[in-house]
Each structure stands twice: as structure tokens, then as C-alpha cells.
Amino acid sequence: MRIIRSSVKSFLLSVGLVLLPLSAVAAVSVGDVLRMADSAPVSRGEFIRAVVKVLGVTGSDKTVLPYRRIPRDLEPQVKAAFAAGALKTFGDELFAGQPITRGQALEVTVALQHLTAKPATQYRDARATDRLAQAVQVAVDRGWMVPRSSVSFGVAEVLTGKEARLFLRKVLGEGGEQPDATDTIPTVEIRFTPATPQIKSGTSELPKAQILEALWKIIEQDYVHEDKINADDAAYKAAEAIVESLGDPYSTFYRPAGSRAFQSRIQGEVSGIGAQVEDRDGVLTITTPLSNSPAEKAGLKPNDQILAVDGKSLQGLSYEEMVDQVRGPKGSVVKLRIRRNGSEFDVSVTRDTIKVPEIEIKWQEEIAIVKLMQFGKLSETDLRPQMLHIQEQDPKGIILDLRNNPGGLLHAATVVASNFLPKGSGIAIIRSRSGERTETTEDEPTVDASVPMVVLVNGGSASASEIVSAALQDARRATVVGEQTFGKGTVQEVLEFSDKSSLKLTIAEWLSPLANKIDGVGVKPDVVVPTAERDEQLTKAIAILKSKRP
């Protein structure tokens, strides 16, 4: 079996995904500009930014774009591509957040390089327009992409992170089979053969390998119920047992189906009841009901324990098995047995597919209330322009509401904090067996330092939420109000195997900029205000900000 260490290491906390760049690099490379997971879809905006940067295409700030809602930090690349006539494939509206297809990526790239070719005719799906046909032929002639079959190129398929990086490396003439030397996180392949028990130089052999091999041979030869021998199931159970032996609830081996479900969750689309959950001592526990989700509408709360689904107990099941029981087709109703504060009751929830929102901005008189539901792509691209707009309105205070925010991308957390802290400010200390590094902000603040701030947190604030609240608290930039946060301060790396199973393994711990421990502790508010029927936490935050007015 071949193990492929993902070209994007994932800095994961229990209820959020945080991507951890391991080192800074000086030059722009494919790895610099396309950092999503291998299997993640690449958005149109992400691809345009990447291809324009790596090809060195420039444009004029005076270019007028016909599109709506283009993030400010994406405008220079979109203007350059538009001026080059490379965005015709998208029609009248760009929709930068939508996934880009293989065919669209080809059309953009070919147009930026002003390449032409005799239109291809052998691929049935490449005849929609002359532009598409020419782009496909250029890709075939130059070996940029591999057709899906002799009659279909696969132009309508969504471009994934791994394929996009490989494609751009080939466009740059770098071969593409090996990672760019300047990638922040290299791809490592580890090959297994029966004669080579070690997985990596310097590591020990599989414990009791000879016993395990002999055990399996005896079962294959002598077990009376031969039809019940399932090699794949046995191997997966062995892998699960090895990881479970660590006693770490955040390290998990995923079978292929579970791995696909996990990747789906971290891409920001949640199916089922719309709640972030985790395994706490064998009990499926809700950490955060997502905003406006079926779970929230049904009255489910953080720390609710799900004991049974449609009358079937979840006891003894693995985490993925418990989650699969809760999930189901959109529109179907599931009855959950809930335990809350020692009492048990049933709740019926209508399942749905939920796209997780990220940013919501409201005003209370002259105070801006910025609520973040998670730390994802929108927090990376859209928040800074919105904060600049808030600053232009001369706010008398800002409330950053991170309550029930389960976390997300480390870079998004860094971008969020950069709005309020000086450039180069520490965000988190990352400690692993190989050393220690500090994550810092890369941009100038959008909000004047004189504008007072309050951060709202509670027990559902986790991972990236704790990173931001701790950083602002350590820097004395904001008053933290609410309840003790979740307390998840370990780092998980995700590795995918060649059979599409995967391993999520704890590899490091993060601390606040002042080296305060977060894991198992959380962030303690400066002003503790318990959750109540009325939003006393928000009321207190407004009162604090009004008291700081000159």
C-alpha cells in the first residue's frame, strides 16, 4: 500500500480546521498560492489569483470590472485577467466563490498566454465553443492535463487542489510530478512492501509484526467459517485499534467512506442536522449547533449528548458510525434521544444540507457587531474589506462575536486578527516534537487602535475562535466577555492513503502568544457573564464600550 502525505498539512482542532504553514518562503510558487487540501474544490477566484500570480500577468488599476461583489484583495488579479480577455468563459457574472471546472481553468490559462491550436474534435465534451475546443487541444499538445477517456476530456469536472497544483506546475514547465521546491509543505510518498516493515527511516518496526502476520495466516488457512474472512475489514480494524491505543480522542483512522465524509465536513458543507459534534468518552456530543440550522431550530444546544437515533442506541459505535446514524437524506426526520444536564428527552429534527455562513454585521447605535460563524474562505477574503468599510463610518466601538464559532482555517484566524493588531503581531505559538514557531499577522490593521473592542465567547467557541480571542486578550487589544471557551489546543495532521482512507493524528500543541495553555483549559474571559435567556453577554459588551467613550 502507498501512503501519500497530503501536500497541505491540516492544523486541526476538535471542531475546526486550521491550516498550518510550516515556513515562510520568499518567491511566489504554485504551493504559495494554492494551499487548499488535495481533494478540495478550487474556486474561480482562487484559481484566477493563482494563475495570474504564477504567470506574472499584470493589469491596470483603472480597469473597470463588469462583475459584482469581487473581494478587494482579489481585484488586481481579476482586473489583469479581464484585461487580457481571459474571463469570457464565465459570461456576465464571475461568481468568484463557485468551483472552477477543468475546462474553465484551461480557457483562462490559454487566454492569459495567448495560445492557439486547431480545435479538438475527438472529445465529445469539448465542442461547446471554439475557445474551449482550442484550450483542450493546447492542453493535450503540451501535456498539461490527462483526458478522462478517448472520447471525453472531463471539461465539466470540478478542478481539485491537487490537480490544480499539478496543472500549473506543468504550465510553468516544472514537470509537475514532484512538488515545487519552494512549496511550504512538500509531498512525501511512503511505500510499503512485505520486505520493508519500516514506514520511514529512523522509526521502529510495527510492534509484534511477526505475531500479527502469523495470526492472519492461521486465520486464512484454518478458520472454519471461511466466508466470514474479510481482509479489508480486518486491516481497517487493525489500523483503527493502533490509533485508538494512543488514547487520544482527536487522533482517528478513517476508512474510505469516513474519510470522504470528513473531507466533506471540512469543506464547509454540513449534511444532516447541522451541528458540529465530537466523541467525548464514547458519547456523541454536540459542540455547536450551526446558525439557522435544523439542530438550532429544534432547540439543541452545546454539550447536548446524543444517546440514540430513531430508537437505536449509539453505545459501542465508532465516531463515524455514530455520525452516519445521525445523517440522512435531506427532508427526512430523525428522532434523537438527548441527555442534557442529567435529564433525557426526545427531539425530532428534519435533516437538511447546510452551507455554513461566516460573516454577519449589525450596528447598535454607533457600535459595530461583527459575528463570525466560522473561520473559512469568506473570513479570509471578505472580512478585511468589510472592516475597512466599518472604519470609514467612524465606529465608537466594535464587538467581535465568536460565540458558538467552532473554528476553521489558521490563515483565516490570522487575517481576522490582523484587522485589529499591528502587522507582525503574534497570533499563536505552535509547539511540536520538531520545534517551535510563532504564527504572526501579515497585514496592516484596518481598524484604528483607538477604537475599543470586546470579544464575545462561550463554551462553543473553539480552535480558531480561541486563537483570535487569546491573541487579542494577550495584546490587551480587546476585553473578552462571556464564558470559558471550549479548550482545544492541539494540532492534528491529516494524511491520505492510496485507497482513500486517511489518518488524523495529533502532532503539536498551540499556545497563546504569551504562552498560555489552551488545551483542556480554554480562554478565560476578562468579564464572566453566563448565558441567559436574554442576551446579557451582548448587553454587557455594549455597556463596556459605552463606558470607554471619551
Average pLDDT over residues 342-348: 94
Rounded to the nearest integer, the mean pLDDT of the chain is: 82
d(CA 438, CA 296): 36
Q: Is the pLDDT of residue 245 over 50?
A: yes
At residue 21, the pLDDT reads 30
At residue 176, the pLDDT reads 42
Which residue, among 429, 236, 411, 443, has the nearest Cα to 320 in the 3D structure? Answer: 236
At residue 541, the pLDDT reads 96
At residue 267, the pLDDT reads 54
Average pLDDT over residues 353-376: 85
Q: For 65-69, 175-179, 229-233, 511-515, which range has the lowest pLDDT when averaged over its residues?
A: 175-179
At residue 293, the pLDDT reads 87
Q: For 239-243, 331-335, 357-361, 475-479, which range has the lowest pLDDT when averaged over its residues?
A: 357-361
d(CA 210, CA 222): 18
Helix/strand number for the chain, H first, E second: 16, 23
The contacts of residue 451 (CB under 8 Å, 6+ apart) are 391, 395, 396, 397, 398
d(CA 420, CA 368): 14
The contacts of residue 539 (CB under 8 Å, 6+ apart) are none
At residue 181, the pLDDT reads 31
**pLDDT band at residue 188 using 50, 70 and 90 as cut-offs:** very low
Span between the terminal Cα atoms of the chain, in Å: 67
Backbone angles phi, psi at 408, to 5 degrees: 160, -135
Which residue, among 232, 209, 231, has the nearest Cα to 220 in the 3D structure? Answer: 231
**pLDDT band at residue 7 using 50, 70 and 90 as cut-offs:** very low
At residue 290, the pLDDT reads 79
Higher pLDDT, 233 or 423: 423
At residue 364, the pLDDT reads 93
Residue with cell 449547533: 289
Q: Is the pLDDT of residue 13 over 50?
A: no
CATH of domain 269-354: 2.30.42.10
Q: Is the pLDDT of residue 398 over 50?
A: yes
Which residue, among 356, 403, 402, has the nearest Cα to 378 in the 3D structure? Answer: 356
Beta strands in 94-149 (DSSP E): none
CATH 2.30.42.10 residue ranges of the chain are 269-354
What pLDDT digit, counting tens, does each position of 259-308 carry? 766 665 555 555 689 887 877 888 999 987 877 889 999 999 988 999 99
At residue 120, the pLDDT reads 63
d(CA 407, CA 13): 8
**pLDDT band at residue 28 using 50, 70 and 90 as cut-offs:** low
Which residue, among 220, 249, 223, 248, has the nearest Cα to 235 in the 3D structure? Answer: 220
Q: Is the pLDDT of residue 449 over 70?
A: yes
Q: For 261-270, 389-398, 407-416, which range has the lowest pLDDT when averaged over its residues?
A: 261-270
CATH 3.90.226.10 residue ranges of the chain are 357-547
Q: For 5-14, 74-83, 133-142, 226-235, which range has the lowest pLDDT when averaged over its residues?
A: 5-14
- C-beta neighbour count of 459 within 10 angstroms: 20
d(CA 440, CA 442): 6
d(CA 451, CA 388): 13
Q: Is the pLDDT of residue 522 over 50?
A: yes
**pLDDT band at residue 546 using 50, 70 and 90 as cut-offs:** very high
Cβ proximity of 371 and 359 under 8 Å: yes
CATH class of 357-547: alpha beta
At residue 185, the pLDDT reads 28
Average pLDDT over residues 388-393: 94
Higher pLDDT, 475 or 382: 475
Average pLDDT over residues 340-354: 90
Q: Is the pLDDT of residue 196 over 50?
A: no
Give catalytic residue positions: 463, 474, 488
DSSP annotation string for 333-366: EEEEEEEETTEEEEEEEE-EEEEPP-EEEEEETT
Choose from 281-285, 379-383, 546-550 the range with maximum mean pLDDT.
281-285
Q: What angle do CA 165, 154, 98 make, to 5 degrees?
A: 60
Q: Is the pLDDT of residue 161 over 80?
A: yes
d(CA 413, CA 402): 11
What pLDDT digit, counting tens, does each position of 481-515 carry? 999 999 988 877 778 787 888 888 888 898 999 99
Q: Is the pLDDT of residue 313 over 50?
A: yes
